[in-house]
Structure 1
Amino acid sequence: MRQPLLLVFAITLFTACKTEPPTSINRQAVFNRHNVHITEVDTLASLSVGNGRFAMTMDVTGLQTFPEHYQKGIPLGTMSEWGWHSFPTDETYSIEETMAPIMSHGREIPYARQWPAGTRQAAAANYIRQNPHRIHLATVGWHITKADGTQAAISDIQNIDQTLDPWKGEITSRFSVEGEPVEVVSVMSQTEDRLGVRVKSGLLKEGRLGLTINYPYPTDQFQDEAVLFDADEPGRLQVSQVDQTQVTIRRQLDTTRYFTRLQSSLPVATPEATDKGFLLQPATDKDMWTFDITFSPEEKTVTGKDFETLRTEAHQALTDYWNTGMMIDFGATKDPRALEIERRMVLSLYLTKINCGGKTPPQETGLTYNSWYGKPHMEMAWWHGVHFAMWGRPQVLEDHMEWYLRSIGVARQIAERQGFEGVRWQKMTDPWGQETASSVGSYLLWQQPHIIAFAELIYNGKPTKEVLEKYDEVVQETAAFMADFAWYDPELKRYILGPGVIAAQERFDPKTTFNPTYELAYWRWALETAQQWRERQGQPRNEKWDKVLDDLSPLPQKDGLYLAAESAPESYDSTYYMTDHPSVLGAYGMLPMTDGLDTAVMHSTFDKIWTDWQWHDTWGWDFPMVAMTATRLGDPEKAVDGLLMPITTNIYLPNGHNYQTDRLRLYLPGNGGVLAALAMMAKQENGWPEGWVVKTEN
């Protein structure tokens, strides 16, 4: 039974990894059907350019001119994978101070959790959660002077006509101030953290258009919207001017140091210091100005490059990227739902490309603004990463895997502290793999098998000895923990997961929860896959892992429905338990068929959830997960309806961002989920509703 299950997983997820030259689909035409066009100030419709490691988000002026106005929309951030900061403290906090035990596995096991305010433990947990945090490197905006000498406000920006071309990664912004037209083109280098800008306006030769580079101060809050400025900022900044066309600004923010370098096509007057940064004014009688701004953690010489060269190189890099891997064309389908599905697809491809590269999985809000202090959540790494491999671009997932390779030491410490073999992967972390105290995250399990799923995706796209050797340690050490964490209950006479567990559906008490259905299925799949990794390398199967596989608890069910967890027989009797992620569907949505899964029971479970779930209390990736399960169950109509369910957390804004709440205005796991679901539907026989004409190429 075991080998066919792996084959099914390979077929359903990994076939899309095969890359062939584009043939029948005009890919650029598919993209250009969904160029984003903005004609008014909409704070939820700000637009971004980026390269996956660095990104900037712009208002209707093509730069970050009005960050305070956009604060509660999609904020105007400048973020990178390398820009992190910690607040100084005279205290020495350690993760050990945050520990609290839970009775599990016949003993007490310590977990790093949050504590009531006013305690030493709370101070330690809060500091560790808040530090390090990702920072906004700067806000770069226009300084526009009106005819009367006052500075233009956002109400003065008229005749707005702004377009994002996601194929080229370029924003063109047209507007006027007091009748004077302005045209701005903004584009990001794909090889450097470097923004290129071209502006055309008569305001230039009138001396009424300048540039501000301001430096927001980081917050110690859940989110950072790039609008906090500190009175001591001027003392952190040092400016130097090599000549009239080159300006370098060094910022020393406690122990974090980085550099901003401007290269201008026109002479720039000596930068004028302000309380937030600097004002730069070009001296010219011309009506066109081009410049680029580079951010870097080291002071380095930036190669001279004119705007058109940077622009051409960026266009070519993105064209090459979009012409690899899979593409889906819904253009011949008359059902109006198809056009919206395609819009979400194109903009999700773009947003994940510019936000989710780098050597660490992204935070849930990417490189746009901070949520959870800018830290990646490793259970979300599945939604951030698998779609890249499913769409034939596994190199991005391979980059994410670098985090696991360099963070294995911390994961091993967590397992050792809790008395387990192998490595237990962190939930909320940072680029260095540090652990965070959390009253939810520390008890989650579903991030644990992800690394095995990622390695398998990469191997199936590139089945080589080198891939097996590169990921062998992380696969086997991950499986070692999983086998050891599965505890043999002498009364039940089988292996169970928990207590000490919070399911992906975060509604159950870790002190009593055991055998969540999705996690059980994932445990079985991952341990079997790890055994296959051993066999591929000529190693014998691990006897302990096979013992766990043979005696692992069956998926819990009651009245013909799969339960959220065996410890929750009332899974469908309580309104509260019918909220948050319906993660039981992941057992046959995110996962393929596993040993013991009954598709008839899953079909009944799907129907119950579809009808009775409290969909207003869900998250963005829940809808793609529903679509995946519907696809595996052979119901493409339900898959499409799931993707387009009219729920607030399933809104996709004009810029493609997946809106959640006033606090979380974008949510990249939703975008990644859309792409994963569509890849699965494209590879499924009869994966689209009847009458749909859909082209797919790899």
Structure 2
Amino acid sequence: MLLLRPRYDLYLAVLASVGICDIDRESIVRQFNLKINQSHPYSPVQVGNGNFAFGVDVTGLQTFLPHNTLSSWGWHNSSLPNTPNQTSIADYTGVDWWTHGRLVNYAQPNPTEKEISQWLVANPHRINLGRVGLWFGGRNVSEDDLTSKTQVLDLWEGAIMSSFAVDGEEVRITTVASPTSDTVAVEIKSEVLRSGELGVAFDFPYASGKNKFDAPFVGVWNATANHTTKLFAKDSGATILHTLDATTYATSIHWENEATITRTSNASHQYVLKASEDETFLTFTVTFSPELVDSTEEFNDIKEQATDWWNDYWTDGAFVSLPISVNTSARELQRRIILSQYLLAVNGAGKDPAQESGLVNNGWYGKFHMEMVFWHLAHWTIWDRWSLYDRSIGVYERFLSTSFERAAHQGYEGARIGKMSDPSGRSAPGEINSVLIWQQPHPMFFAEMEYRKFPTQKTLEKWDYILAGVADFMASYAWYNESTKVYDLGPPMYPVSENTNPNQTMNPTFELAYWRFGLDVASKWQLRQNKSVPASWTAVRDNIAPFPVENDVYVLYEGITDMWTTPETSEDHPGLLGLYGWLPPDPRLNLTLFNNTVAQVYESWNFTYSYGWDFPLLALTAARMGDAETAVNWLLDTNNQFDELGMPEGGSRVATPYFPAAAGLLLAVGMMSGGWDGFKGPIFPKEWDIEVEGFWCS
């Protein structure tokens, strides 16, 4: 049944009236409040809003560990190289590769242009906006010097409550973040404030644009001469302007009781805020902004806003209740579900798709990957959280012009979506970046999900130009093979697994299925608008190469040899199994061959080197095949760990956290709860007594 977006308050009232909406969400969520008594060396406890996140140690601030303050807008460019013939972006030419009888220019690092190639890879890079931590009167106090340490993250209200004793005196700190601005609000209560021996230090690092992975802490703290800060003080507040090369942003601090702020030394970028004599509390807000602002937001206002937002977040959308009191697997899965929902609202709900480590630290210089947009965003649709999905799904429209330019530059029609991207839509040079293709049909998936939920003219118009442009490229990219009379994909190309020789990779199984899916959706889009379907789309969809088979199993790509005994091709992403689970069943799929393939993957794959989203993909396939036990086992596989704070570790080849694992988990659980593509949910182990509400069958 196709529904228009309902008014959710009325929707909940109707559900409650018929006895459907009866899960006690608050008690379940609060069972998984974080409760710790020491800082985590890698994973911070966080508050944030999707576009801004503030990570803390056990003090509720960034006192002993410089956990990061990251945002959607905080980016920096290093100076361009000053090498002969490599002084501007225009000096980069890329690499020409033979592609079906013609030279095609690919955005790959050029050996003769190393400096400008690397500059384009590393710039812009995301910056740490600043550190806010306790100051102990200039004394060298360590975390081990504190006693009675406790910290609670109240998931239902989005607030961190921290308490400890220093020199026998109690300190209590509450930390919250605004749901609408880049603001953190802090309340400190302690008798130590009276003496002036306890304050708050604000410190600012230089940008770190040299590290592909800048984790766990982002920024360079000992390059004080490379950047400047300037303090502008006023009554009950101050603004600090931070300038790094051509990047300048403001930190606006507002306090509510008597206090003063000063720079600690002329050679540093550290400032200390101290309460006036006889004060036993210090309450302040810190707002980071790309422009000079005069923020006067107060702690109680921010806390109330945060409480309301998080209450609404947990109350709205879908929910699943598992038998956590009687089953340890169910309890661990519920823990991952709840903490993933919190962490993705903080780290994966911004104006741009999330980078793989969200707003915790920097991976790939803080850039996001267009092939991972599916794993970052698809779960919001299943869980009926469209407002958060809407924040960044516009990336396809924003990037459309650069996608058209990329295709035209290579001699193709339509729009070719890039890979490793910054907010401008520029895709970083890279061999994998330039020839990966499985990101192309993603817009078709999202458009179809929206239309199933909101079958309106507005939805059709929103996606029309995007789908047409991408489908034109997909049809143009496919090469008609006169010998076999089918359309081939590649070479050169990388499949999902990124572990093959691109010049030998042709007709990878998953991409063939996804190409057909994408062109089929684009064709339906035309017909829904009473438009004709371009003949090129139909020709490619109906005559694309068959799935490659060897010894009665599907294989990674056509012509591959020794796939199951070669380590490089039987590890990484098992994209083959996305044929039946993630994607709706392809009419050409032979289930006997597919069952053989599943058995072969289970027997031969080295899951030690799989990534965090591989396990939700495996779970979806198992669930589609009716094997709920195996689906749950994949979600809880020992190679798919979530740490004590709920951060998804993602596998041995990536830095923690790896949020495609968390988002993939929610996608799989959502589909298992609500069903998808004609498959009725919920599907969980038979002995599990579960309750679900709010999911919609896609």
- TM-score normalised according to structure 2 size: 0.92
Q: Which residue of 1 aligns with 2:206?
A: 217
Q: Does the aligned pair in 1 maintain the 2:206–2:227 contact within 8 Å? A: no
Q: Which residue of 2 aligns with 1:404?
A: 396
Q: Displacement of 1:686 after TM fit? A: 5.3
Q: Which residue of 1 aligns with 2:643?
A: 653
Q: Which residue of 2 aligns with 1:72?
A: none
Q: Which residue of 1 aligns with 2:309?
A: 317
Comparing 463-472 with 124-133, greater Cα deviation is found at: 463-472
Q: Which amino acid aligns with 1:127?
A: W
Structure 1 position 188 matched with structure 2 position 184: no
Q: Structure 1: how far apart are the matches of 2:292 and 2:324?
A: 52
Q: Structure 2: how far apart are the matches of 1:96 and 1:457?
A: 42
Q: Structure 1: how far apart are the matches of 2:227 and 2:589?
A: 63
Q: Does the aligned pair in 2 maintain the 1:334–1:692 contact within 8 Å? A: no
Q: Does the aligned pair in 1 maintain the 2:95–2:110 contact within 8 Å? A: no
- Aligned-partner SS, 2:259: coil
After superposition, residues 125-144 of structure 1 pair within 5 angstroms as 125-144=117-136
- Aligned-partner SS, 1:284: coil
Match of 1:30 among 28, 31, 51: 28
Q: Structure 2: how far apart are the matches of 1:233 and 1:389?
A: 47
Q: Structure 2: how far apart are the matches of 1:361 and 1:345?
A: 20
- Residue-by-residue CA offset, 1:446-497 (whole Å, 9 max, x unaligned): 1111112112222222211112112211111001100111111111210110
Comparing 130-139 with 31-40, greater Cα deviation is found at: 31-40
- Aligned-partner SS, 2:566: coil
Q: Displacement of 1:191 after TM fit? A: 1.0
Q: Does the aligned pair in 2 maintain the 1:397–1:454 contact within 8 Å? A: no
Distance 1:528 1:333, change over 3 A: farther
Q: Which residue of 1 aligns with 2:97?
A: 102
- Aligned-partner SS, 1:124: helix
Match of 2:63 among 62, 65, 71: 65
Q: Which amino acid aligns with 1:678?
A: V
Q: Structure 2: how far apart are the matches of 1:614 and 1:18?
A: 48
Structure 1 position 361 matched with structure 2 position 353: yes
Q: Displacement of 1:529 after TM fit? A: 0.2
After superposition, residues 656-695 of structure 1 pair within 5 angstroms as 656-659=646-649, 660-661=651-652, 664-684=655-675, 685=681, 687-695=683-691
Q: Which amino acid aligns with 1:202?
A: E
Q: Displacement of 1:675 after TM fit? A: 0.3
Structure 1 position 522 matched with structure 2 position 517: no
Match of 2:161 among 172, 182, 201: 172
Distance 1:616 1:393, change over 3 A: same
Distance 1:557 1:333, change over 3 A: farther
Q: Structure 2: how far apart are the matches of 1:38 and 1:152?
A: 20
- TM-score normalised according to structure 1 size: 0.92
After superposition, residues 528-607 of structure 1 pair within 5 angstroms as 528-607=520-599
Distance 1:227 1:345, change over 3 A: same
Q: Does the aligned pair in 2 maintain the 1:38–1:45 contact within 8 Å? A: no
Q: Displacement of 1:415 after TM fit? A: 0.4
> Cα RMSD over matched residues?
2.1
Q: Does the aligned pair in 1 maintain the 2:49–2:177 contact within 8 Å? A: yes
- Aligned-partner SS, 2:585: coil
Q: Does the aligned pair in 1 maintain the 2:441–2:470 contact within 8 Å? A: yes
Q: Which residue of 2 aligns with 1:228?
A: 220
Q: Displacement of 1:589 after TM fit? A: 2.5
Q: Which residue of 2 aligns with 1:461?
A: 453
- Aligned-partner SS, 1:365: coil
- Aligned-partner SS, 2:421: coil
Q: Structure 2: how far apart are the matches of 1:201 and 1:422?
A: 63
Comparing 514-523 with 175-184, greater Cα deviation is found at: 175-184
Q: Does the aligned pair in 2 maintain the 1:358–1:400 contact within 8 Å? A: yes
- Residue-by-residue CA offset, 1:592-644 (whole Å, 9 max, x unaligned): 11120122322221122122211111111111111011111111111011011
Q: Which amino acid aligns with 2:287?
A: T
Q: Displacement of 1:401 after TM fit? A: 2.0
After superposition, residues 316-395 of structure 1 pair within 5 angstroms as 316-331=308-323, 334-395=326-387
- Residue-by-residue CA offset, 1:168-215 (whole Å, 9 max, x unaligned): 111111112222211111111101111111111111112111111111
- Aligned-partner SS, 2:176: strand
Q: Does the aligned pair in 2 maintain the 1:58–1:64 contact within 8 Å? A: yes
- Residue-by-residue CA offset, 1:323-375 (whole Å, 9 max, x unaligned): 11110111467321000000000111111111112221011111111110000
Q: Does the aligned pair in 2 maintain the 1:32–1:167 contact within 8 Å? A: yes
Q: Structure 1: how far apart are the matches of 2:121 and 2:486?
A: 37
Q: Which residue of 1 aligns with 2:678?
A: none
Q: Does the aligned pair in 2 maintain the 1:95–1:124 contact within 8 Å? A: no
Q: Structure 1: how far apart are the matches of 2:477 and 2:238?
A: 56
Q: Does the aligned pair in 2 maintain the 1:272–1:280 contact within 8 Å? A: no
Q: Which residue of 2 aligns with 1:49?
A: 47
Q: Displacement of 1:420 after TM fit? A: 0.6
Q: Which amino acid aligns with 1:33?
A: Q
Q: Does the aligned pair in 2 maintain the 1:136–1:226 contact within 8 Å? A: yes
Match of 1:420 among 412, 415, 423: 412
Q: Does the aligned pair in 2 maintain the 1:18–1:325 contact within 8 Å? A: no
Q: Which residue of 1 aligns with 2:38?
A: 40
Q: Which amino acid aligns with 1:282?
A: A
- Residue-by-residue CA offset, 1:271-290 (whole Å, 9 max, x unaligned): 22441321222213122221
Count of matched residue pairs: 670
Match of 2:469 among 472, 477, 481: 477
- Aligned-partner SS, 1:79: strand
- Residue-by-residue CA offset, 1:143-172 (whole Å, 9 max, x unaligned): 124xxx623122212222111122211111
Distance 1:662 1:208, change over 3 A: farther
- Residue-by-residue CA offset, 1:121-159 (whole Å, 9 max, x unaligned): 2212100011111100001111124xxx62312221222
Q: Displacement of 1:19 after TM fit? A: 10
Q: Displacement of 1:95 after TM fit? A: 7.0
Q: Which residue of 2 aligns with 1:283?
A: 276
Q: Which runs of 5+ in 1 are unaligned?
A: 1-6, 69-75
Q: Does the aligned pair in 2 maintain the 1:45–1:654 contact within 8 Å? A: no
Distance 1:140 1:662, change over 3 A: farther
- Aligned-partner SS, 1:208: coil
Q: Structure 1: how far apart are the matches of 2:57 and 2:641?
A: 21
Q: Structure 2: how far apart are the matches of 1:315 and 1:651?
A: 30
Q: Does the aligned pair in 1 maintain the 2:156–2:311 contact within 8 Å? A: yes
Q: Which amino acid aligns with 2:192?
A: L
Q: Structure 2: how far apart are the matches of 1:18 and 1:486?
A: 48
Structure 1 position 262 matched with structure 2 position 258: no
Q: Which amino acid aligns with 1:46?
A: P
Distance 1:317 1:608, change over 3 A: same
Q: Does the aligned pair in 2 maintain the 1:215–1:233 contact within 8 Å? A: no
Q: Which residue of 2 aligns with 1:71?
A: none
Comparing 36-45 with 135-144, greater Cα deviation is found at: 36-45
Q: Displacement of 1:235 after TM fit? A: 5.8
Q: Does the aligned pair in 1 maintain the 2:227–2:242 contact within 8 Å? A: no
Q: Structure 2: how far apart are the matches of 1:233 and 1:153?
A: 27
Q: Which residue of 2 aligns with 1:4?
A: none
Distance 1:19 1:374, change over 3 A: farther
- Aligned-partner SS, 1:652: coil
Bigger relative contact order (CA 8 A; separation at least 6):
1
Q: Structure 1: how far apart are the matches of 2:622 and 2:592?
A: 13
Q: Which amino acid aligns with 2:108?
A: R
Q: Does the aligned pair in 1 maintain the 2:229–2:269 contact within 8 Å? A: no
Q: Which residue of 1 aligns with 2:440?
A: 448
Distance 1:96 1:166, change over 3 A: farther
Q: Structure 2: how far apart are the matches of 1:160 and 1:95?
A: 55
Q: Structure 2: how far apart are the matches of 1:416 and 1:43?
A: 47
Q: Structure 2: how far apart are the matches of 1:181 and 1:484?
A: 68
Q: Structure 2: how far apart are the matches of 1:30 and 1:234?
A: 49
Distance 1:96 1:561, change over 3 A: farther
Q: Which residue of 2 aligns with 1:73?
A: none
